[in-house]
Structure 1
Amino acid sequence: MSSDISVPSSVPTAPPKTHARQLRGDVQGLRAVAILTVLAAHAGVSWFAGGFVGVDLFFVISGFLITQQLVGELGRTGWISLRRFYARRARRILPAATLTLAATVVGAVLLLGPAQVAPLAVDAVWAAAFAANIRMAVSGTDYFQAELPPSPVQHFWSLAVEEQFYLVWPLVAVICIVLAGRIGASRRGEGDGPQGSARARRFLLAAIALITLASLAWSVVHTPGEATAAYFSSLTRAWELGIGAGLAILVTSGRVMQRLAGAPWARETLVLGGLAAIVLACLAYDEATPFPGYQAALPVLGSAAVILAGALPSGETTLGARLLSVPPMRAIGDWSFSLYLWHWPLLVMPEIILQRDLTWPERGLAVAAAFVLAYVSFRLVEAPFREGAVWRPTRRALTFYPVSIALVVVIAFGGTAYADFQATRGSYQPAVTLADAPAADPSLDEQEALVRASVLAARDDTPVPTELRPALTELDSLKPRRTRCDYTDDTERDLCVDGDPDGNRTMVVFGNSHALHWIPTLNRIAKKHGFKTYFLVKNRCVSASITTDRGGEKDPYTECDDFNRWAFKQYKRLDADLTVVSTAPPIQGVYDEDGSWVGERTRIDELMHPAYTDFLRRVDKHTGRTVLIRDIQGFDANAGTCLSRPGATLGDCLMGAVESRETSIDVQVRAAKQVGVDVVDMNSYFCWGGSCPAVVGDTITHYDGTHMSRQYAPRLAEPLARRMGLRTHG
C-alpha cells in the first residue's frame, strides 16, 4: 500500500465482528466474498489485486448489522444500553483477537530474530488498545519504513477503525434519543411509544447522514495527497460504516420496504449489480489506486445494494442471494473474522523468516493453514464467548477490555525481554578488527582496511559480534537522523543552519533521503572545517531537472517540483562556497517532455542523463565548488533483518550490489563529469572485492537496503573530507 506513500495491495483489511445469530444467508455470503477477496489479494493473485476492497464490504456490513441491533433495541425498549452494547462487542471480538495477538508474538519469539520481535511487541500493544491504525499510519508515512517488511499484526488496523467508530456512534445514538424524547415531550407528550421511536430513528438517520457526508468529503480531499495516512484513518473510513448504518435505519421504514417489495425486478437488479460492482473493483483496482477516496464508492455502494436487495424475506429468493447463501459461502462467512485474524501472520511471518517472497505452493499452504486455524478458533474460542457460554454477565464481559490489554502487554514485553536475552546468549563473539585479516594494501586507509577485514571474516562464516552497534533489538535507531528542517511538511519551509553556525564558509547540500543519510558525516565535516550548512533535502525528491512520480503511485510528484523551485531560489541567495549533491535515482518512473509517464528502466536512464546534467550545471553556476557524492551501493536484502535470523553468521549476510541500480547511479556520474563537477565515490567503505558486509567491525552499515545507518555515517567523516580535498580551515 506502499509503500512508498502508495497503498499496496499487501496492506491488510478486516472483517466485521458482529453478532452472527439469525444472520441473513446472503449477508453471511457477502462476508465470505469479502474475506475471499482479501485472501486473494494478500496471497498475491495478480489479476485480483483490488481484493483489498474487501475492507469496504466489511465496513458496510458491520455498520448495517451493528446499527440494526441498536435500532432493534430502541424499538423494543425505547432506549439503548451502552453497557450491553460494549459487553456484546467485547464477547464478540476480544477473545479471538487477543488469542491471535498472543500467538503471533509467541511465534515471533520462537521463529523470528530479535530485530522483528521488538517492533512487533509495540505493534501488538497498539493493536490491543484499538489504535493499530494510528500506529500503521505513522509507520506508513515514515519514508524510512518503506523498505522494511510489514508487521505481522498490521491487519489489526481495520479492527481499530471499527472500534473507534463504535466508541462514538452509540454515544451519538443516545444523544439523538434524548433529543427526540425532549422534543416529543414538548409536542403533546409524544416522547414515548411508536411516534417517539420513529422520531428517534429520524434523528439517528440525520446524525449518520451528517457523519457520512463529512467523512466522505474528508476522504476525497485527503486521499490524493496523503494516501497512506488516509488509508488507515478512521476519519476517511467512517463514511463506509455510515452507509451501512444509514441503510439499517432506512430499512425500518415501512414506505421504503413497501416500494422494494413491489418491485422484484429491482431486487434482482440491486443484488446482481452490487456483486458486479464489487467484482469490477477487485479487477480494476490495484496498489497504484489512490484509496479510499471516491474510488471506495464502487465496492461500498455495491455491498449496500446487495444488503438492501435482501432486506425483505422475499429478497433472499433473488438469484444473487441464492448464490451467496449456499452452505459453503455461509460457513466461510461464519469463519470470516477468525479467518481474517489468522491469514495475515501466516503469510507474512514465513516471508520474514525466509527473506524472500513465498512460492505459490507455500502461499497455498499458508492459506490452507489459515482455514484450519479459523475453524478451530471459531468453534473453540469465538463462538463460545460470542454466544455467552463463557462470561455471559454484562459486568464480567466488560472486564475483557482491561484483561485483554494487560495480557497482550505482558506477553509482548516478556517476548521482547526474552529476545534481548537470546541476542546475547552463548559465548562472547568479539567485533571484527584489523588483526583478523592479513596485512592490507598500504594504499587503503584504516576504515577501508576494516571493510576488507570484515569481508574476509564474513567469507569465513564468522559469528555475528555480541556487542553490535546498535543491538539487534534497537534497529530502529539505525534510521538516518533528520535535521530541524526536513521539509516533509509542504506548508512550512524555513532555512535551518546546521554544521558550524558561526562558520565563515557556507556549504549547501541538495538531494533526497540519500543526502539525508550523510547528515551525521557532513555535519562533522562542517564543524571541523568551519562551514555553516544548509540541507535542502526532501525525501524521495530527486535532484534533477525532471518531474518524477511519487514512487508506488503513477502521479506526478508536484510537491517535489515546487520544493526544488523554492530550494533553488534560496540557494542563489546563500552564496555557497561548497555545494554537495547526493541523490538516489527515481524509485519508479518519470515524466517525459510530453507529460507521459515512463517506467522502463533503460528509458528512464536516458531521460535522467540530461536532467542530472541540467541540474548540476545550474547549481555549479552559483557556488565556489560542486561535489557529487556517488550514491552508495544498495542491496536486495535488509541487513538488520538478516543478522537477527536465528543462527545467522556474518557470512549469511554478505551481500552484493544490485546491478540495475548501479547502472542508474552511473548515469549521475557521467552527467557530473560532463559538467565538470567533482565526483566522490565512497563505495570502498561499504564493499571490497564485489562483496558487501552487513557489519563493518562492530557496526551495521545499512538501515535498510539502500540507506546508510546513523551509526556508520560518522565513521566516514574523515575519509569523506579527505576525498573531497578539504583541509582544516584556519
Structure 2
Amino acid sequence: MSHDLQVPRPAHHTTDSKPPAKRLRGDLQGLRAIAILTVLAAHAGVSWFAGGFVGVDVFFVISGFLITQQLVGELGRTGRVSLRRFYARRARRILPAATLTLAATVVAAVLLLGPAQVAPLAVDAVWASAFAANIRMTISGTDYFQAELPPSPVQHFWSLAVEEQFYLVWPLVALICVVLATRIGATRRGEPGSARARRLLLAAIALITVASLAWSVVHTPGEATAAYFSSLTRAWELGIGAALAILVTSGRVMQRLAAARWAREVLVLAGLAAILLACLAYDDSTPFPGYHAALPVLGSAAVILAGALPSGETTLGARLLSVPPMRAIGDWSFSLYLWHWPLLVVPEIALQRELTWPERGLAVAGAFVLAYVSFRLVEAPFREGTLWRPTRRALTFYPVSIALVAAIAFGGTAYADFEATRGSYQPAVTLADAPAADPSLDRREALVRASVLAARDDTPIPTKLRPALTELDSLKPHRTRCDYTDDTERDLCVDGDPDGEKTMVVFGNSHALHWVPTLNRVAKKHGFRVYFLVKNRCVSASITTDRGEEKDPYTECDDFNRWAFKQFKRIDPDLTVVSTAPPIQGVFDKDGTWVGDTRRVDELMRPAYTRFLRKVEKHTGRTVLIRDIQAFDSNAGTCLSRPGATLGDCLLGTDEERERSIDVQVRAAKKVGVDVVDMSSYFCWDGSCPAVVGDTITHYDDTHMSHQYAPQLARPLARRMGLSGRG
C-alpha cells in the first residue's frame, strides 16, 4: 500500500520531489538557544529563573512550525505527502543522538549508582526509546509512593515523547486532508489542489488546537502531574506552530506583514518579552500547562511570525537572536537538552544530596561539551550524510534503536543484580548479635537492637536482602481492595476476615496504607471485618490541607473525608484505628489563609486532630491511634544500593521536625482519651535507625514502611493494641 497521496496540481507545477535548498533562519536558531538556556537555568536551580521550564513550550512551537512547514512545502512542490519520507527524516534527526544518550545514561548508572537505581532506570530508558516516556512519567508521578523517589535521569525524554506522539497523528491528518482535497477537486475546477489541502489542514489543526487547549485548561488544576506530561494537554502548543506554518503560506497574510515594518519589530520584541516574563513569573507552584502556557507559546509564535519574511531577520530582535553564539547554541540545542538532565541528576542520586553551585556549573559545562561532540559526530553526520539517506534504511532506525536500548538496559540490570551479590557471602543480622537479653523485649525489638549494633560495627550488607535491591519497587505499600485514588469511584470493600463478627475501620492517608498487611493479619486472626477508608495525602484531621505541591486547597480530600465519615457512622465499628502522617506542606486556617510555617501548622493541627478524634469516639466502641513511624533523614534503598556501602553507612537518623509534628497528634489523642500505640522501638533504638532489620529493608522511601517489613509486625501490633488472647 502506498504511503503517498497526491492532489491535483496546476499543469506548470514541477514533479520533482527533491526540495529546493532552504535558508536556515538565524532567528529560529536563536529562539532555540533561548529555549534550551531557560531550561538549563531552571534545572540547574537558578531561583530567579524558576519558570525556565517554559523553554520546552518554546521548543514545541518551533517544532510544530518547522515540521508542518516541511509537510506544506512538500505538498506545494509535489502535491503529495509521504509518510515514509516524513518518518525517515524524523528518524535521522532524533534517533541517533537520543539512542546514544539513553545508552550512555544506563551505562553511567551501572557504574556510578547502585542496583536500586539501575533497575527502574532501565525500565524508564526502554519506555523513552519507544517514545512513551511521558506515559511512564505520568504513571510514576501520579503514583504517590513513586513520586517521592528521586527523579529519573531520563525523565526529560517526556517532551520528545509528546512531540513524536503528535507527529504520529498529524501527518495522518494531513493525508486525510489530501484525500478530501482530491475528492473536492473532482467537482470544483480551477483551484489548485494543494491550496484546498492547505485550507483543510488549517481547519483540522485549528480543531485539534482548540480541543487540546480546552482539555489542558480543564484538567491542569486538578490533575497537575498527568496534565504536565500529557500529549492531550500539550498538542495545542505544537498546533499553534503548525497553524502558523500554514498561515505564512498565504500571500495575503505575508503581504500585510511585509508592509508593516513596525509590526514586525513589535511582534519579535513583545514575543521575547512574553517568554522572559514567563521565566521570571512562573515557578514550580504554577499550574502548568493550562492557560499559563499561553504566554510563552504565543510569545514564541510572535517571534516566528515576525521573521517569516526574508526581511524579517532585519528586525532588532531577529538580529539579536541571530548572533553567532546564539546560532551555535541553537544548533546544539537538541543534544544539549538530551545531555544536561542526566548530568545534573545522576550525581545527585549518587551523592544523595543536592549539588553545590560549582558542581552544577561543572555539570552544565559538561553538557555543553557533550552537546558539541554529539552534534558534530552524531547528529549532523546522520542527518546530512548519505549513508542513511535512503528512506528504507533510515526507517530501520526505529526498531534498531528500541532493540539496542532494551539490550543495554537488560544487560545493565543483570550486571547490577550480579554486583549486588558479588563477593563473599554476608549473612543476615541475627539475635546472636543482640545485646544482653532484656525480658521486656520481644524478638523483633531485640533484632532491631542487634541490627543497630551490627551497623555501628560497620557490618557488610547481607547478601540476601528482602527484597533484592533490584526489586526495590516491590517494597512499595500495597493498596487495599478499594483504591480511592479515583475520586469518581467510591465503594466499600471488606478486607481482613470477611466472615468476622466484629468490625474495624481504619482512617488515615498513605501512612495507614503501609499498615494494611499488618492490620489485615491482625484482623484475620482476631475475627475483624476491616474497612480501610484511606486516601493518599488525606490527613485524618478536621482541617483543609494543600495538595502538597501547590498551595491550593485539597478539596477532593475534604470531599473524601466527608464521604468516609458518613460510611463510618453507618458501619458503627467495634474498633477504629487511625494512622496518619502530618500535612506534607501546609494547611488553611479558618479564614482560608494558607499557612506553611511548620510550627504554625503544628499549632493548627492539634485542635484539628482533637476535633476529628472526638467525632470518631462518638461512633465506635474503641479508638486506637498508631503513632506515625519515624521518618528517615535519607532514603534507605538509595543508601543501601550505593557501591561499597555497609550497614554502618545506612544507619539513619530521624527527621526531628517531623517528630515534633507527630507528637502533636499523640498529645491530641491523649487529650481525647484515645489509646496510643507506639511502634517506634521496631524501627529505632538508642537514637539510631537501621535501614535493614535482620535481612529486611524497613522503609520503602524516607517515610513509608516497606511491604516486606509490615507483616512482621502483626503480632507485636496486636499485643500493643490489647488484642492478644482475644477472639
Query: TM-score, structure 1 length as denominator?
Result: 0.96
CA contact (8 A) 2:144 2:536 kept: yes
Letter paired with 2:394: A
For residues 423 and 619 of structure 2, the distance between their equivalents in structure 1, rounded to whole angstroms, comes to 58
**1:593 is matched with which residue?**
590
Deviates further, 438-447 or 294-303: 438-447
Could you say what secondary structure the match of 1:534 adopts? strand
Superposed, which structure 2 residues align to 1:600-679 within 5 Å? 600-679=597-676
- Following superposition, the deviation at residue 727 of structure 1 comes to 2.9
Superposed, which structure 2 residues align to 1:393-408 within 5 Å? 393-408=390-405
**2:301 is matched with which residue?**
304
Letter paired with 1:486: D
Matched, 1:582 2:583: no
For residues 197 and 48 of structure 1, the distance between their equivalents in structure 2, rounded to whole angstroms, comes to 44
**1:235 is matched with which residue?**
232
Matched, 1:221 2:218: yes
- Following superposition, the deviation at residue 263 of structure 1 comes to 0.9
For residues 429 and 347 of structure 1, the distance between their equivalents in structure 2, rounded to whole angstroms, comes to 34
**1:39 is matched with which residue?**
40
Superposed, which structure 2 residues align to 1:416-427 within 5 Å? 416-427=413-424
5+ long unaligned stretches in structure 1: 1-18
- Following superposition, the deviation at residue 147 of structure 1 comes to 1.8
CA contact (8 A) 1:542 1:583 kept: yes
Matched, 1:165 2:166: yes
CA contact (8 A) 1:530 1:729 kept: no
Aligned length: 708
For residues 233 and 206 of structure 2, the distance between their equivalents in structure 1, rounded to whole angstroms, comes to 15
Identity of aligned residues (%): 88
**1:469 is matched with which residue?**
466
**1:132 is matched with which residue?**
133
CA contact (8 A) 1:91 1:388 kept: no
Could you say what secondary structure the match of 1:543 adopts? coil
For residues 701 and 207 of structure 1, the distance between their equivalents in structure 2, rounded to whole angstroms, comes to 55
For residues 486 and 249 of structure 2, the distance between their equivalents in structure 1, rounded to whole angstroms, comes to 47
Matched, 1:347 2:348: no
For residues 633 and 281 of structure 2, the distance between their equivalents in structure 1, rounded to whole angstroms, comes to 30
For residues 715 and 300 of structure 1, the distance between their equivalents in structure 2, rounded to whole angstroms, comes to 54
**1:144 is matched with which residue?**
145
For residues 348 and 453 of structure 1, the distance between their equivalents in structure 2, rounded to whole angstroms, comes to 35
CA contact (8 A) 2:467 2:475 kept: yes
CA contact (8 A) 2:115 2:641 kept: yes
Letter paired with 1:470: P
Letter paired with 1:55: V
For residues 468 and 652 of structure 1, the distance between their equivalents in structure 2, rounded to whole angstroms, comes to 16
For residues 680 and 429 of structure 1, the distance between their equivalents in structure 2, rounded to whole angstroms, comes to 35
Give a deviation string over 1:397-447, Cα, whole Å, max 9, x none. Answer: 111111111111111101111111111110000000010133232211110
Could you say what secondary structure the match of 2:577 adopts? strand
Could you say what secondary structure the match of 1:80 adopts? strand
- Following superposition, the deviation at residue 195 of structure 1 comes to 2.2
Superposed, which structure 2 residues align to 1:438-587 within 5 Å? 438-587=435-584
Letter paired with 1:69: Q
**2:331 is matched with which residue?**
334
Letter paired with 2:402: I
- Following superposition, the deviation at residue 671 of structure 1 comes to 0.4
Give a deviation string over 1:287-343, Cα, whole Å, max 9, x none. Answer: 011110111000000000000011111111111111100000000000000000000
Give a deviation string over 1:41-84, Cα, whole Å, max 9, x none. Answer: 00000111100001100000000000001111111111111111
Superposed, which structure 2 residues align to 1:240-319 within 5 Å? 240-319=237-316
CA contact (8 A) 2:435 2:449 kept: no
Give a deviation string over 1:171-214, Cα, whole Å, max 9, x none. Answer: 110110111121012113x4xxx622211110110010011001
- Following superposition, the deviation at residue 93 of structure 1 comes to 0.3
Q: 1:253 to 1:158 in 2, by over 3 A?
A: same
For residues 195 and 85 of structure 1, the distance between their equivalents in structure 2, rounded to whole angstroms, comes to 23
**1:698 is matched with which residue?**
695
Give a deviation string over 1:503-562, Cα, whole Å, max 9, x none. Answer: 111110000000000000000000001110100000000000000000011110001100
**1:73 is matched with which residue?**
74
**Which among 706, 711, 715 is matched to residue 714 of structure 1?**
711
**2:59 is matched with which residue?**
58
Could you say what secondary structure the match of 1:579 adopts? strand
Runs of 4+ in 1 over 4 A off after TM superposition: none
C-alpha RMSD of matched pairs (Å): 1.1
Query: TM-score, structure 2 length as denominator?
Result: 0.97
- Following superposition, the deviation at residue 388 of structure 1 comes to 2.8
CA contact (8 A) 1:528 1:728 kept: no
**1:12 is matched with which residue?**
none
CA contact (8 A) 1:275 1:303 kept: yes
**2:7 is matched with which residue?**
none
